[in-house]
């Protein structure tokens, strides 16, 4: 089922609208990769967020993570770091590093690191909107 703007938290609605404006498809549905809460597929410009992510209290972070990947994929579909200077607490940095070491292919590390770092930023929605407007 297509993601409804009304089902998203208010601060994410402008991000969803901006993604749609730039031709991205949003789906509030289980991603086509088992065991994941969210997925961005550059080839089809589609973001999935599993409804259960919101039930588990990680929907906002999952949505922002995948929206970061969408912004990273502009302008040509190749995911490249945006280059945000993000400050993280050391414990958060260690947690991200652990996740990246155990669950992600080496080549995706910088891209994933940026998405994990962005998903916890208070100003993430505005930063992602700005990146989409500049890059897409």
For the chain, the structural domain boundaries read 5-130
* Range from 70-74, 99-103, 118-122 that averages highest in pLDDT: 70-74
Cβ pair 73, 42 in contact under 8 A: yes
Fold of the 5-130 domain: Zincin-like (3.30.2010)
Radius of gyration of the chain, Cα coordinates, nearest whole angstrom: 14
Q: Report the percent of the chain where pLDDT is more than 90.
A: 63
pLDDT at 1: 44
DSSP H or E stretch at residue 47 = strand 46-49
Cβ pair 45, 25 in contact under 8 A: yes
Q: How far apart are the C-alpha atoms of 63 and 93, rounded to whole Å?
A: 20
The per-residue pLDDT for range 4-62, each reduced to its tens digit, is 657 888 999 999 999 999 999 999 999 998 888 999 999 999 999 999 999 999 999 99
Q: Report the percent of the chain where pLDDT is more than 70.
A: 86
Please state, in angstroms and as integers, the Cα–Cα distance from residue 127 to each residue in 46, 89, 105, following that order: 20, 19, 26
């Amino acid at each position: 089922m297509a993601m409804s703007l009304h089902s998203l938290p208010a601060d994410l609605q402008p991000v969803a609208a901006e993604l749609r404006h730039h031709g991205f498809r949003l789906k509030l549905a289980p991603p086509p990769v088992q065991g994941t809460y969210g997925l961005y597929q550059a080839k089809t410009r589609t973001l999935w967020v599993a409804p259960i992510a919101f039930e588990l209290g990680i929907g906002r972070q999952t949505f922002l993570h995948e929206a970061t990947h969408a912004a990273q994929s502009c302008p040509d579909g190749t995911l490249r770091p945006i280059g945000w200077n993000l400050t993280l607490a050391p414990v958060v940095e260690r947690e991200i590093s652990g996740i990246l070491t155990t669950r992600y292919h080496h080549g995706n590390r910088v891209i994933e690191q940026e998405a994990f770092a962005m998903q916890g930023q208070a100003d993430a929605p505005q930063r992602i909107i700005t990146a989409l407007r500049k890059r897409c």
